[in-house]
Amino acid sequence: MKFINFIGLLLLSAAFLNLTSCSDDDSDDPNTENSQENETDETDEDAVSDSISSYALWVITDTDDFSGLLMTTEDIPEGEVDPTTESYSLLGAARSAGISYGNAIYNPSNTSGDVGIQKFAYENNALSDEGFISVGESRFTFEVVSDTKGYYTDSERSRTAIQTFNPETMARTGEIDITDSINKYLTDDVSYTRLGSFMIENEGYLYTQVFYFNESGLHAFDSTFVAVFNVETDELVNVAIHPDYIWLGFERKNPNFIGKAENGDLYLASLVGNSTDQAHSRCLRILAGETQFDSSWKLDYNDIIGEEGSYSLGGPAVLDGKLYIRMKASGMATDYSNYTDEDLYAYEVDIDTQEATKIEDIPASSASSTYSVSGPVVMDDKVYFVVSNSEYQGYYAYDPTTGTSEEAFSFSGGIPSQFIEINE
Amino acid sequence: MPAKFIITFFCCFTFICVYSQSYIAGEVTDEKGVPVTGATVVLTNTTIGCVTDNDGSFKIDLPPVGSQKIEVSFMGYKHQYFPVFIKKDTVINLHIQLSPDNAAIGEIVVKGNSEDQKKREAPIKIEVLNTDKLQVKAVGLPQIINQISGVKIRQYGGVGSNTVVNINGLQGNKIRFFRDDIPMDYMGEAFSLSLVPVDQISSIEIYKGVLPVRLCADALGGAVNIISKQNDTNNLNVSFNYGSFNTQRATLSGYFEIPKTKIFTQLSSYYVSSDNNYKIDVDMADEETGNLREVTVDRFHSGVNSQFGEFIAGIKNTKWADVFKLSGAVFSIDKQKQNDIWMQEVFGEVMYYEDSKIFSGRYLKRFSKLNVDVFGAYSHLKTLFDDTPENTWNWLGEATPKEENDGSGEADDDVMSYRKYNWDYWVGRFFAQYDVNDHLHLAVNHSYTNQERVGSDPYAKTYGVDIDVLTIPAKYKRNISGLGVTADLFKGKITDEFTLKRYGVNTSSVESSSSYDGSISYLEDVGYGFGNSVKYTLTTNKYLRLSYERAIRIPEVEQYLGKSEDLIVGNPALKPERSNNLNVGFYTNLNRKKSIWLDWNSFYRYVEGEVVLQSYYTVQSQYNNVDDTKILGSEFTVKGKLFPDLDFNTAVTYQDIRRVNIQDSRYVLLKNARRPNIPYFFGNAGFHYHPDKFIGSGQWQFSVNYSYVEKYLLSSIAKSMEPDLFGSVDEDANLIPTQQVVDVGTTCKLHTKYPVWINLDVNNVLNAKVFDAYKVQKPGINYQLKIKCLIN
């Protein structure tokens, strides 16, 4: 059997992730109830009790050029949904894992497919163009932390600074340069650096990853570096280091790989890691209000399936002390021979015991389409899992209180790419 | 030296006894006595006339009584004038023999136009574009070819940019290219349609759907065959063209026979250069705010510089060879690349270089009833893709030095590239045709291509493998054989052409750089195809045409075995694309004078298992057979003479290209959706005025061409979301808007005694915003001036 060297896949991910999607959002993260609370706290106190939820769905229709549709709905859909009606057409929709903040959606590309932060105002179940900030590289990540402050990465502007923007005016406002702090770790092996892959705000801190690449395009160190900023002062407060390199998040789709618990703890997951072992999925934790990794907790997905090559395409969502993830039931074969198997299942993992349970009544998906990494989302105390296989496209809702699932809604076609809640 | 005119003019006045009415009839032949089809015969200063039919005959009914002058004209031949006196109830029979016009605007073309006409009238649908009258034009081949119905040459920018040929809805590698019947892969970009000046070729043949046996290739949707210039008298041809955007095209070619020997030599060369710095509208990000604003800028870093030279020496008309020739050619091109296809990224330093040396030999001989054509070639191509920028660039051409720790390229955000390839090609082709009799012909063809590629890239990601996998040879062999039978049945009423082809491929390469373990993957595949074409002659000037082919396209080497440097993983299970191609056509004159003609063609294509690049694992991609494509279309051409000195040509095409047979729920929304980024309705109308006298003693010609392309989609959307075919729609980022372009030009031969021509073309007179491929904008209004001198 041919040996597959997974090392470089980290770098390769860069190329691929250019084509996939989206930014992240933490305080707006629809994956958790807590994020909704944070967001509304920061935006409009009066709106909290009167907030009305609407929903947005991204559907990829053509993987040849990543085009697709963005549709909104006032209620969680039921039955079969035809995304070709009442939808917003997006070029480059595969990049889209948009986030919601206030009554707007922020998408990592505009309708023409230009890369950048596109603000769509949401009103009366309709979207309108509220401004666009162009980003010079196809892979970037962003976050909105208040009505007037947001952050994003743009390696074409700088590989050692993050950019700031005003979501109200949708204009860039400046950058936070951390060159000195990054260069502190430079060695002769480092060929170039980059910031990004994920970006999330939590408890007043903004977190994003720092990469150090060597000439081969591999990460130069077997360590994970995360820059931590104070969003009040816009100052770097720490570079958190975990002694195992993991490519956290999923670039523009990072909301699907970052989960925030009700107590504010952050769970950061990824598909791939260092070059010394076979690619597999892992999850790290940063406790609420902390600027360092929680060294006492780490989840290795190989332990869940009991073999090498664990492969997760979405999650964790966090609810009541449980993580919810989508993962292949068996490890990815080193020659990818089981790559197209439809064995991507929903799992529930106890955070404390790390005991995992396969949710059997949710149909399996195929891992063959990494265009769809729509992660589990928590809405109305239920966890919504995407199901995408050759026969079916839609979402199932899992009720943790009963331990049962049922079909929420299906699509007449297309690949579900993202499902979020909009808070008006 | 003026050509020797051999004119035999028989004028017999024959009185047809009572009851008959007067007419003029006769036959037009070339200098060898072969009937000329399509020659124009008119009474001067009238609109009375006709065009000769298949056997060169013509008839003009009811000419005005009195003294008249008959004018006979045909491309590449001297205009001829004959005085006649028409009496009531008189019949005039003429035999007119044309002679080549070596001093005409067109160059000396031994391969007579009647031969082109024969191809046009073959059972297989072929468009033959004779470039004789276009030799003086300053425009490029794409602009000329785009006047043919059903054909779109699409360019990714200006002069020298990459082109995609679309024939009846199919494009890309479904179309194959030939030069003088030989598959052209071994020539690299030397005969790229956007480069080669019109002076270098004699004609262009466009095969729609079905290929004859002499063109052995795995084309699904047709082929383009470029016919080189063939000479038989000494000549020297020099031309120079200068135009907007510092565009320069120069050609030098000649033919010389060593006196008292059968040895000939020939030179073909061209130089093409352009800055392509035309204006474009782009969205540019504000440096401070990042907000986009549309600005009009001059393109930069879009230039091209190319040279080609070919020397041929040979003998002809000997006992053992009709023609035996050897040739050596060199070619080089430097191309700057400024942008991606979506015009979202600006490159200021990306370069592509190609240098090639090409050697070939050809032997032609007719042994009684057997025609033999043997060809062999070797070429060595060196290519370099250089993406090692020192700066980042904006649309204004402003550079900002890259940060020290920025290892990215411009075309690739992750890594720079300095990718060299050495390509070796060996090509062989044997063709023989046996004429059993005048009505039955048998043909056999075998084409062999062996391609080997070795490369290197010091910046390529190695993924932990201690070797640059590009240094490992990638090999690709293709053997294609064909048998053909052509028969005239029922006294020539029906002409049938049957072909049977075998396609074989043998290839080996590293499958993936991230999975390289020292082993090389091999693959062999074989497929068969067949076709049959029938032409039914209704009357002398009317015929029906019906053709069908079961065609096959063998995947390219990177589609089978991957392209490691681009993270494309091989797929040995990939199946060849197959298609059913059906053409139905009708050709007729539209008026009694036979000066206006209609050529109508409808086509159906069904391509099974389109090969498409899809995502594979997390970061890689792989070619897979996906859904099918169904094409239904129709095209027509109306052309002829409105007046003796005014020609016109109108072509309209509609092609409905749909994705079908989609089973996977992920793509089912696109069931019956249009294939994107391909125009589906387009046409043009052109007029060519060539008065006998205009200003002074010069020979003047004027032309105007209008072309129309209906709006089309950039990206697939569900059929229910498609905009109406015609009419205005709201601005949509997914639409390329309707385009209307007008080109005008004039040509003047300064004096009949001096073989010097001057041509001025003004393209895109309306300065319309024009797109051809994705969002890459083409030039607005531009001017081209050309001077040409032909010495015989």
The answer to whether A134 touches B292, Cβ cutoff 8 Å, is: yes
Q: Evaluate if residue B779 carries a pLDDT over 90.
A: yes
pLDDT of residue B404: 73
* A155:B406 CB<8 A: yes
Q: For chain A, which ranges sit under pLDDT 50?
A: 1-49
* B666:A414 CB<8 A: yes
Task: Pick A172's closest partner by Cβ from B289, B618, B720.
Answer: B289
Q: Is the dihedral of CA B43, B44, B47, B51 positive or negative?
A: positive
Strand partners, B628: B660
Q: Which of A232-236, B519-523, B660-664 has the lowest mean pLDDT?
A: B519-523
Q: Which of B170-179, B296-305, B355-364 has the lowest mean pLDDT?
A: B170-179
Q: How many CB pairs under 8 A join A and B?
A: 214
The pLDDT mean for chain B works out to 85
pTM of the complete model:
0.81
Which residues of chain A are within 8 Å of residue B664 when distances are taken between CB atoms?
390
Reported as half-sphere exposure (CB side, CA atoms, 13 A), residue B547 has a value of 33
- What's B733's DSSP letter? T
Measured CA distances, B181 to B45, B213, B224, B226 (Å)? 42, 10, 9, 8
Please count the other Cβ atoms lying within 10 Å of the Cβ belonging to residue B697: 11
* A61:B617 CB<8 A: no
* A413:B670 CB<8 A: yes
* A8:B615 CB<8 A: no
Q: How far is B522 from chain A (nearest CA, A)?
A: 15
Helix, strand, coil fractions of chain B, as percent rounded to 5: 5, 55, 35
* A217:B414 CB<8 A: yes
Residue of B nearest to A275 (CA): B464
A337 three-state secondary structure: coil
A131 φ, ψ (degrees, to nearest 5): 130, 160
Residue of B nearest to A166 (CA): B289
Strand partners, B86: B66
Write down how long chain A is: 424
The answer to whether B700 touches B747, Cβ cutoff 8 Å, is: yes
Task: Pick B292's closest partner by Cβ from A114, A332, A393.
Answer: A114
* A91:B618 CB<8 A: no
Mean pLDDT computed over B118-123: 73
Any CB–CB contact under 8 A between A129 and chain B? no
The pLDDT confidence band at residue B365, using thresholds 50, 70 and 90, is very high
Closest among B254, B251, B250, B249 to B267, alpha carbons compared: B254
The answer to whether B631 touches B612, Cβ cutoff 8 Å, is: no
Residues 111-170 of B with CB under 8 A from A: none
Residues B582-609 pLDDT 10s: 999 999 989 888 889 999 999 999 999 9
The answer to whether A340 touches B666, Cβ cutoff 8 Å, is: no
B190 three-state secondary structure: coil
B558 CB contacts (<8 Å, ≥6 apart)? B509, B566, B568, B623
Q: Evaluate if residue B113 carries a pLDDT over 50.
A: no
Measured CA distances, B525 to A136, B186, B477, B627 (Å)? 44, 22, 11, 21
Which residues of chain A are within 8 Å of residue B289 when distances are taken between CB atoms?
133, 171-172
Closest among B474, B642, B709, B480 to B568, alpha carbons compared: B474
Q: How far is B611 from chain A (nearest CA, A)?
A: 11
pLDDT of residue B140: 85
Any CB–CB contact under 8 A between A192 and chain B? yes
Closest among B115, B179, B104, B168 to B141, alpha carbons compared: B179
B774 CB contacts (<8 Å, ≥6 apart)? B156, B341, B342, B343, B677, B714
The pLDDT confidence band at residue B50, using thresholds 50, 70 and 90, is confident
The answer to whether A253 touches A97, Cβ cutoff 8 Å, is: yes
Q: How far is A29 from chain B (nearest CA, A)?
A: 24
Any CB–CB contact under 8 A between B172 and chain A? no
* A190:B405 CB<8 A: yes
Peptide bond into A316 cis (omega under 30): yes
Measured CA distances, B743 to A36, B155, B761, B764, B783 (Å)? 60, 17, 7, 5, 10
How far is residue B197's CA from residue B137's CA, in Å, rounded to a whole number? 10
Beta B681-689 vs B646-660: how paired, if at all?
antiparallel
Using the CB atoms, write b or e for A163-193: b if 16+ within 10 Å: bbbbbbebebeebbebeeebeebeeeebbbb
How far is residue A3's CA from residue A11's CA, in Å, rounded to a whole number? 18
Any CB–CB contact under 8 A between B295 and chain A? no
Residues 457-476 of B with CB under 8 A from A: 459, 461-465
Mean pLDDT computed over B751-773: 90
Task: Pick B715's closest partner by Cβ from A3, A67, A218.
Answer: A67
Q: Is the dihedral of CA A122, A124, A126, A131 positive or negative?
A: negative
- What's B291's DSSP letter? B
Residues B569-578 pLDDT 10s: 778 788 889 9
How far is residue B321's CA from residue B318's CA, in Å, rounded to a whole number? 5
Alpha-carbon Rg for chain B in angstroms: 28
A115 φ, ψ (degrees, to nearest 5): -80, 130
The answer to whether B229 touches B268, Cβ cutoff 8 Å, is: yes
Task: Pick A63's closest partner by Cβ from B614, B721, B733.
Answer: B614
Looking at residue A81, its amino acid is V
Closest among B192, B180, B181 to B142, alpha carbons compared: B192
pLDDT of residue B421: 92
Residue of A nearest to B285 (CA): A134
Which residues of chain A are within 8 Å of residue B615 when distances are taken between CB atoms?
16, 19, 63, 368-371
Q: Evaluate if residue B731 carries a pLDDT over 70.
A: no
pLDDT of residue A13: 38
Mean pLDDT computed over B205-210: 86
* B619:A17 CB<8 A: yes
pLDDT of residue B75: 65
Please count the other Cβ atoms lying within 10 Å of the Cβ belonging to residue B363: 18
* A370:B615 CB<8 A: yes
Which residues of chain B are within 8 Å of residue A413 when distances are taken between CB atoms?
665-671, 718
Any CB–CB contact under 8 A between A410 and chain B? no
How far is residue B651's CA from residue B706's CA, in Å, rounded to a whole number? 11
How far is residue B374's CA from residue B366's CA, in Å, rounded to a whole number? 12
Closest among B46, B89, B84, B91 to B66, alpha carbons compared: B84
* B519:A62 CB<8 A: no
B759 φ, ψ (degrees, to nearest 5): -130, 135
Task: Pick A413's closest partner by Cβ from B413, B665, B732.
Answer: B665
Closest among B281, B276, B280 to B245, alpha carbons compared: B276
The pLDDT confidence band at residue B612, using thresholds 50, 70 and 90, is confident
* B462:A8 CB<8 A: yes
How far is residue A95's CA from residue A113's CA, in Å, rounded to a whole number? 9
- Report how far Cα B517 is from the mean position of its chain's Cα atoms: 43
The answer to whether B647 touches B117, Cβ cutoff 8 Å, is: no
* A84:B412 CB<8 A: no
pLDDT of residue B101: 58
The answer to whether B502 touches B480, Cβ cutoff 8 Å, is: yes
* A9:B413 CB<8 A: no
Residue of A nearest to B391 (CA): A156
How far is residue B415's CA from residue B463's CA, in Å, rounded to a whole number? 13
Please count the other Cβ atoms lying within 10 Å of the Cβ belonging to residue B586: 16
Q: Evaluate if residue B429 carries a pLDDT over 60.
A: yes
The DSSP string of A28-77 is T-TT-HHHHHHHHHHH-TTHHHH--EEEEEEEEEETTTTEEEEEEESS--
Residues 672-711 of B with CB under 8 A from A: 676
Measured CA distances, B672 to B125, B221, B627, B662 (Å)? 28, 20, 11, 9
Residues B152-195 pLDDT 10s: 888 888 999 988 898 988 888 889 999 999 999 899 999 888 89
The pLDDT confidence band at residue B515, using thresholds 50, 70 and 90, is low
Q: Evaluate if residue B117 carries a pLDDT over 70.
A: no
